């Protein structure tokens, strides 16, 4: 009989955190941030409430961990598209295809809208979630600036303004799809992004 390797304490904690994060992601997508409880996250992952609090201070902390992972993956995808594109048009096609794929799973856009409304009501400009998202926008702006430089483009919008507009467009369309009960085609986000990127750049 094959022996099953026992996890050490650090490996066990890492596994527990990962399972809790997967559970939280599924619960947030199904119920929203406010509608999800710590008990639901723990139970759905097969753990006790105590196990949750041994790994995360509160619901905000696990949401922040998920958000950072999501945003880091988003930036890595952009970097990969930029590195493997031979023209601005090719990059735009890749970005449009990616946003079309995201349209199939708008959960993060909806969660971000909920988070932004929550932060706005709390009026906390120094909130960790606010800082994380601000850093993401700043990094995305830098990647857009690199894109313009690589393909000899001069943006009709400053990189920071274009980054904000791209995010607002993707989040806004996700909300429109949710409000219309998926009546809007998923490909619309990709098409809108393509039109915005092409329109925002011109040759120097």
- pLDDT at res. 127: 78
- pLDDT at res. 105: 57
- C-alpha to C-alpha distances, 7 to 4, 13, 19, 46, 192, nearest whole angstrom: 9, 9, 15, 17, 48
List CB contacts of 127: < 8 A, sequence separation 6 or more. Answer: 119
For the entire predicted model, the pTM comes to: 0.82
192 shares a domain with 130: yes
Beta bridge mates, 202: 154
Return the residue matching tokens 């040759």. Answer: 203
151 shares a domain with 186: yes
- pLDDT at res. 88: 93
69 shares a domain with 52: no
Instruction: Please give the Cα distance from 30 to 195 (Å, whole number).
Output: 31
| Residue 10: domain span | 1-56
Is residue 41 a contact partner of residue 58, using CB atoms and an 8 Å limit? no
83 shares a domain with 35: no
103 shares a domain with 130: yes
Q: Which of 17, 32, 56 is the last residue of a domain?
A: 56
- pLDDT at res. 160: 92
Q: Which of 56, 80, 98 is the last residue of a domain?
A: 56
Is residue 171 a contact partner of residue 112, using CB atoms and an 8 Å limit? yes
Q: What is the mean pLDDT of each run of 10 residues along the chain (204 residues)?
A: 64 90 90 91 95 94 89 92 94 83 62 74 71 91 94 87 89 77 72 87 64
Question: Tell me, what CATH number does 34's domain have?
Answer: 1.10.10.60
- pLDDT at res. 78: 93
Pairing type for strands 201-203 and 153-155 reads antiparallel
- pLDDT at res. 124: 62
Tokens of 81: 């598209």
Question: Tell me, what CATH number does 143's domain have?
Answer: 1.10.357.10
77 shares a domain with 145: yes
Instruction: Please give the Cα distance from 137 to 145 (Å, whole number).
Output: 12
157 shares a domain with 180: yes
């Amino acid at each position: 009989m094959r022996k099953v390797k026992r996890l050490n304490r650090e490996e066990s904690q890492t596994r527990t955190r990962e399972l809790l994060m997967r559970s939280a992601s599924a619960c947030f997508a199904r119920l929203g941030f406010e509608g999800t409880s710590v008990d639901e996250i723990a139970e759905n992952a097969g753990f006790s409430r105590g196990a949750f609090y041994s790994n995360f201070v509160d619901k905000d902390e696990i949401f922040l961990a998920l958000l950072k992972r999501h945003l880091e993956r988003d930036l890595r995808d952009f970097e990969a598209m930029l590195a493997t594109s031979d023209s601005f048009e090719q990059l735009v096609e890749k970005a449009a295809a990616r946003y079309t794929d995201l349209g199939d799973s708008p959960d993060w856009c909806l969660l971000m809208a909920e988070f932004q409304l929550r932060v706005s009501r709390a009026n906390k400009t120094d909130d960790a979630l606010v800082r994380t998202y601000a850093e993401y926008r700043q990094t995305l702006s830098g990647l857009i600036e690199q894109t313009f430089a690589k393909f000899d483009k001069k943006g009709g919008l400053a990189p920071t303004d274009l980054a904000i507009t791209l995010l607002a467009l993707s989040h806004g369309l996700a909300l429109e799809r949710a409000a219309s009960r998926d009546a809007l085609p998923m490909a619309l986000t990709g098409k809108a992004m393509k039109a915005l990127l092409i329109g925002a750049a011109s040759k120097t």
